[in-house]
Structure 1
Amino acid sequence: MFTGIVQGMAVVEEITAVTGLSTFAIRFPENSTENVTIGASVAINGTCLTVTRQDGNTLFFDAMQETLKLTTLGDLEPGHSVNFERAARIGDEIGGHLLSGHIHTTANVVDIIRPENNVTLWFEVPEPWARYIFAKGYIAINGASLTIGEVDGNRFNVHLIPETLRATTFGTIEKGMRVNIEIDSQTQTIVDTLARLGYNRPAPAL
């Protein structure tokens, strides 16, 4: 379980691909891997991965082809930065909203607006997933818990303050990039329940 509060950025050092599996070697900032154990869960751009090996501040993760297909992990290359969050522990402050680290879909960055002292990002999700996106609702984008601003069809925006831009990969995001999306679980449950009662559109095909 995760909170959606990104703890920092890590750098992809190496990717080793074999049939059906890719291994990511990711270098973390100093002191951010203390007490990490093999088998621990870490969210990389919002995707829950399991630590398989450690070499100092470099952690290794395996991702199956299905994971690469359903997330943006397959787009990563050595040198790319990623958001990370270690799994939440009992007693941790929940500053965002609870996340599972299971990505529902991806979205494309369709516009970037840069007014003074903040940035507004517009995303486009596949049409079936728009039914879960509401103004002022929660959403996780690349592992960051964010509040949805405006919604226009299957497009929505979020407003980011300078600290968010500094502490996450959103500071270098570009138009056309893909991001991982995890829908708020409570919102999904409510919408799907209403759909079963005939008050909404059919659930998306998975």
Structure 2
Amino acid sequence: MFTGIVQGMAHVLECQTLGRNKRLKIQFPDASMQGQQLGASVAINGVCLTVVEIERDAVSFDVIDTTLLLTNIGSLTNGSIVNYERAARMGDEVGGHVMSGHIMTCVDVCDIQQQGESFHIRFSVDVSGLTNVDARRYLFDKGYVGLNGASLTICDIGDDWIEVSLIPETLKATTFGRLRLGDKVNLEIDSHTQATVDTVERVLKQRAVILS
């Protein structure tokens, strides 16, 4: 489990191809991986990955082909900068919202507006050609959304886009200040919202069948 409070940025040291999979070796900030264990989970750009090797603050992860295909992890190269969050522990404060690290789809940066300390990023949201999932059913104004592992609130929404507003602290701690038009960002929807929407849709379909 993760909280969506990104703990910082790390950079990719190596990308090694292993058949259809890939092994990522990532350098984290000094002492940030203290006490880390093999088999533990770390969110990289919001994707839950398993630790397979530890060399002090350089940690390696194996990434399966499906994850490479459906998330922006597949486009990482040596030197790429990523957001990270270590798995939450019992008793940790949940400052964002509960996240699983299971990405639904990617969205594209389609507009960036900055005026003083006001920083807005708009993302185009459409039916994914890879997953055939329409994430728009689960997105609404002032609702939670996970973007590259950060728990954010949607501040505006249209038919095929969502927009978030970022404070200077978030820009300093994450890769959002580095985003450019066209960049792909991992999107995880709020699990509670998904459960509610799916349940309501199922009940309405059942009622429609009965009435017909």
Higher Cα Rg, which structure = 2
Unaligned runs of 5+ in 1: 200-206
- Deviation track 1:10-37 (CA, whole Å, cap 9, x = no partner) reads 0000000021210000000001000000
Q: Offset at 1:197?
A: 2.2
Deviates further, 126-135 or 86-95: 126-135
SS of the aligned residue for 1:198 comes to helix
Q: Which runs of structure 2 are paired with 1:114-129 in the superposition (5 Å)? A: 114-127=114-127, 128-129=134-135
Amino acid aligned to 2:178: T
In structure 2, the partner of 1:38 is: 38
Instruction: Name the TM-score, length of structure 2 as normaliser.
Output: 0.92
Q: Which runs of structure 2 are paired with 1:49-198 in the superposition (5 Å)? A: 49-127=49-127, 128-198=134-204
Aligned-pair RMSD on alpha carbons?
0.9
Amino acid aligned to 1:178: K
Q: Offset at 1:126?
A: 2.1
Instruction: Name the TM-score, length of structure 1 as normaliser.
Output: 0.95
- Deviation track 1:87-137 (CA, whole Å, cap 9, x = no partner) reads 000010000000000101110000001122121000012242111100000
CA distance in 2, matches of 1:125, 1:69: 18
CA distance in 1, matches of 2:188, 2:18: 28
CA distance in 2, matches of 1:79, 1:133: 33
Identity of aligned residues (%): 49
Q: Offset at 1:5?
A: 0.2
CA distance in 2, matches of 1:132, 1:155: 12
CA distance in 2, matches of 1:129, 1:24: 28
In structure 2, the partner of 1:4 is: 4
Q: Offset at 1:9?
A: 0.3
CA distance in 2, matches of 1:141, 1:147: 10
Q: Work out whether residues 47 and 103 of structure 2, in 8 Å CA contact, stay in contact via their aligned partners in 1.
A: yes
Amino acid aligned to 2:11: V
Amino acid aligned to 2:21: L
